[in-house]
Structure 1
């Protein structure tokens, strides 16, 4: 079975960009050490600094779902609760 690719789009409220970035960056070390995490990279849009993207690769969807229910993800959701304008996740399959 192919790996699961995740593209997560996070849009911070304009007055909360730094807070959201700091909270997103806190996720990286723990997540990269999780079982099944193959890639976990944070990007910030050059033209819209409120737009962040996590590009992720996981061995299985189940391991990614374990990540999504992990304590550090829950802590991010609480810390950024009123700072995120929009959030979307695309589950994708790498073809070539």
Structure 2
């Protein structure tokens, strides 16, 4: 059964465009990873500091491998100190 990841990222108000650019860089390499079924970036219409990734992975193991990927590591290094909140919800479809 696939796993759904909801990643809520809130950029610091002076870093919105930078965070958006860095998040956008993750899309192409992540979508080509084994096990990635969906990887979609959204930005809140009312709170432009709030970004959300909706992700679907074949298995939790594929998602864990994604977290250890080179592009995620580069993102972490590049955005250190630029994000005010980062919450990940790991979810499973129940119906």
Alignment TM-score, normalising by the size of structure 1 = 0.97
SS in 1 for 2:4: strand
User: Deviating runs (4+, > 4 A) in structure 1?
Assistant: none
Query: Matched residues in 2 for 1:18 and 1:45: separation?
Result: 14
Are residue 61 (structure 1) and residue 60 (structure 2) matched? Answer: yes
Structure 1 CA distance for aligned equivalents of residues 93 and 56 of structure 2:
9
Q: 1:70 offset after TM fit, Å?
A: 0.2
RMSD: 0.6
List gaps (5 residues or longer) in structure 1: none
- Return 5+ residue gaps in structure 2 as ranges: none
TM-score by length of 2: 0.98
